[in-house]
Amino acid sequence: MHYTYTYDVVRLALKRANKSFVMTGLCLLSFLICLTCVFQPAFAKTSRIKDIVDIEGVRENQLVGYGLVVGLNGTGDGINNSPFTEQSLIAMLERLGVNIRGQNLNTGNVAAVMVTGTLPPFTNQGSRIDVNVSAFGDAKSLQGGTLLVTPLIAADGEVYAVAQGEVNIAGFSVEGDAASVTQNTPTAGRIPSGAIVEREINFQLEELQQIRLALRNPDFTTSRRIAQAINGFTNTHLARAENSASVMLRRPSGYDGTIVDLITDVEQLPIQPDQPARVVISERSGVIVMGADVRVSSVAIAQGNLTLKISETPQVSQANPFADQGETVTVPRSDISASVGDDVKLAILDTGVTLQELVTGLNQLGVKPRDVITILQAIKAAGALQAEIEVM
């Protein structure tokens, strides 16, 4: 009896211990889930500093040039309709030692084009960049053409690259006597790595003692958060928010690295960008984009459908056969009807309605996107939409 009693006590103690362990584990798991739910939205909204700012001075430069594309299969410019193509062709041949002035040119294998490209920051001399080629005259297609040497100039008038190569197009055009087929745009193409950089942009970033971080979406709160994150990371007052669009970052006197090293250290810092409540509307396409902070005050919304239908069924009135007088005339017959939708609903939105609740309510009314544009503008006019409306 003694051993049986001891065995039962031990078994009961182990059972209670296992139950307590399981309950403790469940409580711990629930606590971790709660922590995940609380902190996950905050971390999910963060972005790196390098993704929301630009470094002042680190920028691209636009290049443009005028050239000729040769080797076309009769789809080039008409010489009679494009005098600039004829002048460019004559000038090019004269530079090559061929004099054709006064001659009658009738070639359809040449097209005048505009060549555009973008020079990335800190591009070294001898590097290659992509260029785009677009027909300038009445050429029908650039398929199979080759761009001749074309200098590319920047806004200062200096040549920074020279382009040449075969033009790649993503379309075609086929024409017959009674029909034609055109896919995409055969008068525009691209030359991958088609330009060689001949001049570098003189900008020494590593010699600067301070730089300005330009926010891509200006906001005072975001600007201040960037400065606070940098100062907290470096434990010094290196960053200062100048305004909603820029943060000044200076290189400390005792810093061993350059300003480039400092940028590398701070550009990975996470920031939670802030944004104003804004509704962007495109009248032409019917696209509506609403920010997460859009709020609506108490307002009632009703959306009705008024349909007007006009049918024209003209009739012909003719005179009797063998009548002395009379003529055939057209008598108009119009049938006009108006109807109002019977399923018109009235919805009430309470104060502080969120974006999700607003969209859900409008969907329940069966409102189409173009009707939503009018409703949002009406809510804004009533002073119930706590957001800025931007019409594109």
pLDDT attached to residue 152: 96
- Could you tell me the pTM of the whole model? 0.64
Q: Which is higher by pLDDT, 329 or 145?
A: 145
Question: Phi and psi for 343 in degrees, rounded to 5?
Answer: -100, 35
Is the separation of the CB atoms in 199 and 158 below 8 Å? yes
Look at the block and give the residue holding tokens 């711990």. Answer: 28
CA–CA dist 87, 183 (Å, integer): 31
Average pLDDT over residues 274-282: 82
Residue 107 has pLDDT above 90, yes or no: no
Tell me which range, 102-116, 214-228, 341-355, is most confidently predicted by mean pLDDT.
214-228
CA–CA dist 229, 191 (Å, integer): 43
Question: Phi and psi for 260 in degrees, rounded to 5?
Answer: -65, -40
CA-wise closest residue to 248 among 268, 270, 231? 231
Q: What angle do CA 112, 113, 115 make, to 5 degrees?
A: 150
CA–CA dist 363, 360 (Å, integer): 5
Average pLDDT over residues 250-256: 83
- Which residues, 6+ apart, have CB-to-CB distance to 82 below 8 Å? 112, 136, 137, 138
Q: At what angle do helices 220-234 and 259-266 cross, to 10 degrees?
A: 110
Residue 164 has pLDDT above 80, yes or no: yes
Residue 283 in tokens: 């009248």
pLDDT attached to residue 332: 67
Q: Strand 287-290 to strand 315-317: parallel, antiparallel, or no bridges (unpaired)? A: unpaired
CA-wise closest residue to 358 among 275, 307, 282, 294? 294
- pLDDT tens-digit series, residues 297-313: 776 766 665 444 545 56
CA–CA dist 52, 244 (Å, integer): 13
Helix ranges (H only) for the chain are: 2-44, 49-52, 83-95, 220-234, 259-266, 355-364, 369-381
pLDDT attached to residue 22: 39
- pLDDT tens-digit series, residues 1-11: 444 444 444 34
User: 32: part of which helix (H) or strand (E)?
Assistant: helix 2-44
- pLDDT tens-digit series, residues 366-391: 667 777 777 778 878 877 777 888 88
